[in-house]
Amino acid sequence: MPIAAPLSSAIDLTTRLVAFDTTSHKSNRALIAFVESYLAGHGITSHLVPTEDGEKASLFATVGPEGVAGIGLSGHTDVVPADPAAWTSDPFTVRQENGRLYGRGTADMKGFLACVLAMVPDFKRRKLKVPLHIVFSYDEEVGCTGVRPMIAELGNRLTKPRAVIVGEPTSMDVVDGHKGPVRWAVEITGRAAHSSMAHLGVNAISVAGRLIGELGAIEKELMALPPDTRYVPPYPTLQVTEITGGIASNIVPATCRFGFEVRAMPGLDVDGIEKRIVAFAEKECLPEMRRLAPEANIVIRQSNRVPPFAADTESEVVALALKLAGQNETRAVSYATEAGLFQGAKVPSVVCGPGDIAQAHTADEWIAISEIERCLAFLDRLADWAEG
């Protein structure tokens, strides 16, 4: 394949996609409209899965025979916030320098989206026996929430892929496993009192401290599990991530809220961890709190759950990705992707995409142009395979 033309197109498309500020709390519809128009220009029909308010949408399209289970090329359109003051240049204007493209989302993961779109003309001219599905989602960065309604449509309104390649930045390494974040919000209600009359109040922050102490004990147990050295660190992590409580230094705090997360490895009993902390709250904390304040309460609510990912040991798509990437071994990562959700829907998945995860979410985020070239070559070999 003459790489020059697709490379030029991929760089241009990266520039165009980055120019859409799709920070997760904003709409992605302008970007989706651009992609829909681009695909229509190549005779490809897009199917949208919008939110109820219409502010956001995922996009599904097929190049090749319709209604046939093919290979999904999956990526998210949203990005994390960018503080312009921390950047050397405008985060949403791509700057090309020293063989790199700088801009929010270049690595995570609009560079991959651009590669897929840049290859569409080549995909289109081929006689694909196995179709290639374009699967673009929203709100991955806030808990992989946008891809879920689209996955629910697979096998119904949308063709269920035979397999999915998730193009998160892996430096084009083939990833067959990752951890999954599970997050909880804890709300503690005690009773306020003058701080000189502490015995009349129920200190919600103190109760939070007891719960956090139990979480610390669970964390130590997780760290002591047999290590899996494919991950860094080689054990599931647990940490308190935020906390707030009290209104003044001379008032016994009546409320406290905190959040904690577990980065679960495949096979971890996450529900068991939740049951344990709920049981501790109910048996060790609430009886004492309610002796003085019957209205006292502790609410522990799971706020988001992204499943860990482990590809099947005999997975066709992992073997295919290794062949296309010219590699012999897979690796695992500690960050999360949408692969576990596809896998849970019985769509075999693998993660492989351009860019270095170390650049994701940073000021002056960048992707090497050489990574884009490698991704284009990977997609070209995929098209060769899909032609049979």
Exactly one of 36, 139, 140, 176 is catalytic; name it. 140
The model scores a pTM over 0.85: yes
Task: Specify whether 52 is catalytic.
Answer: no
Mean pLDDT per 10-residue interval, the chain, length 388 residues: 73 98 98 98 97 97 96 98 97 98 98 98 96 98 97 96 98 98 98 97 98 98 97 97 97 98 96 98 98 97 96 93 97 96 97 97 98 97 96
Q: Are 225 and 235 in contact (CB under 8 A)?
A: yes
Angle at 122 between CA 118 and CA 123, to 5 degrees: 95
Query: Known catalytic residue: 140?
Result: yes
In 3D, which of 247, 265, 354, 361 has the Cα closest to residue 309?
265
Tracing tokens 């090497």 back to the chain, one arrives at 368
Which pLDDT value is given to residue 388? 87
All residues at 6 or more sequence positions from 85 whose CB lies less than 8 Å from its CB, including other chains: none
Spatial distance between the Cα atoms of 20 and 77, rounded to a whole number of angstroms? 10
pLDDT at 2: 45
Q: Residues 78, 168, 176, 371: which is the catalytic one?
A: 78
> Cα–Cα distance between 49 and 67 in angstroms, integer?
18
Closest CA to 147 of 68, 59, 262, 81: 59
Check residue 264 and give its pLDDT. Answer: 97
